[in-house]
Amino acid sequence: MDALGRVLIVVNPAAQSGAAAGAAERLKRFLTMYCHREAFDIAQTERPRHATEIAAGAAGYDTVIALGGDGVVHEVACGLMRIEKGRRPTLGVIPVGSGNDFARTLGLTDVTDVSGTDFSPLLTSSAAPIDVLEITCRSHTGGTTRTWTEYAVQTISFGLDAAIAIDTHAMRKITGLTGAPLYLASGLKAFGRDYRDFPAHVRFDGGAEKRVRAIIFAIQNGPTYGSGFRICPQADPCDGLLDVCYATGPVPRAVALPVFLSAKNGGHTHNPHVHLQRAKRVDLVFPSPTYPIQLDGEQVGAAEMSIEVLPSTLSVLWPR
C-alpha cells in the first residue's frame, strides 16, 4: 500500500445514480486506514472530458485511481498520457460502470453493489506497464484539415459495434439496464432497421490499401468490448500489437446477427465473414464523416484515423 504514494481519486459523482460519490469517500477512508496517513484526495468531475483535465494536472501524484466505468478510465488515461513518461502517475481502476471491459482485462470483478464496494484488490495490486493505443484523427471542413490526437486503453471500433456502444448511453437512461443486458438490447436495435455495412479503406502496417464493407471493425488492446463480448480473445495489452477483428458484407442480417451474438463467448472467430489480424499500425479512411466511431465507449468523429500501439507506456495497477 505504501507503493501507492500520494493518491488522487477521480470520480463522476453522478455515476450509479449518485452512489459513486459515496464510494469515492469510502475508498479514501479505506486507504487512510490501511496506510495510516493522509495522502489521498478526491476530484469530482463536472462535465464531459473533465476527468482528462484533472488527470493531466496530476503530475504531483504517484497514483491516480479512476472510480467508474470505461468512460472515466478512458478520460483519465488520456489525461495521464499528456504527462511526460518520467512523471506520469500509475493508473488504478475501481470498476463501477456499465461495461468495465478494461477492468475485466486487468482481472478485476465488476462492482454490482456500489454501496458495498470491495476495495481489497488494491491490497494485493502491483504496478506494471501496458500498451496504449495512440490515434491520430483528421477531419476535413471547407478545405481545411484539422488533426488531433486521442488515446485508448481497450478498444477502437467503427460500424454497428460502435453504434451499439454509443447508443447504450441513451438506452441506459431509458431502460435502466446495465452490463451485458444493456449491450444486447442496444445490439438487437442496431441489427433491426439500422442494419447496414460501412465501406472504408484500410491499410495494415503500411501495406497495400484495401476497401472493406465492414459490418463491425474493432481494434483491441484487450480481449473484450461491450461488457464482455470476446471480440479478440487472444488480445494482450502487453504484447506491443494491435488485435483487429472485422466482419465484412454484404451479409443479410439473418446471417450477421447470430455471428454477433456468438461473439459473447468468442465463437465468431471461425466464421468466414470474420477476419482477424495483428498489426502495429492501422490506417483508416471513411467515405462519410458521420460514421459511428468509438474509443473505449466514447464517441468521436473523424474522416481519417491512424492507430499505432505505444508499447509499455502506461503503468497500471494489476491485482496479483
* pLDDT tens-digit map of 4-45: 899 999 998 887 777 888 889 999 998 888 877 788 999 999
- Measuring CA to CA, which residue among 265, 236, 111 is closest to residue 178? 111
Residue 125 included in any domain: no
124 inside domain: no
Instruction: Mention every residue, 6+ apart, whose C-beta is less than 8 A from residue 256.
Output: 191, 195, 215, 247, 249, 273
Residue 48 domain boundaries: 2-118
Q: Do residues 163 and 218 lie in contact, with contact meaning Cβ atoms separated by under 8 Å? A: no
With beta carbons less than 8 A apart as the criterion, state whether 319 and 107 touch. Answer: yes
**Quick one: 166 and 281 in the same domain?**
yes
Q: How many domains in the chain?
A: 2
CB of 242 closer than 8 Å to CB of 279: yes
Sign of CA dihedral 113, 237, 217, 77: positive
Cell 484487450 locates to 222
Domain boundary residue, one of 65, 88, 118 = 118
Q: Domain for residue 34, yes or no?
A: yes
Helices 179-190 and 160-175 cross at an angle (nearest 10°) of 120
Question: Which residue among 74, 92, 118 closes a domain?
Answer: 118
Pair (217, 114) in one structural domain:
no
Residues 177 and 288 in one domain: yes
pLDDT of residue 117: 63
Give pLDDT, residue 16: 74
Which segments in the chain show pLDDT lower than 70? 1-2, 110-117
pLDDT at residue 116 in the model: 58
Last residue of a domain, one of 61, 86, 118: 118
Non-local (6+) Cβ contacts of 27 within 8 A are: 9, 40, 65, 67, 94, 117, 119
- Specify the pTM: 0.92
- Whether residue 101 is found in the same domain as residue 150: no
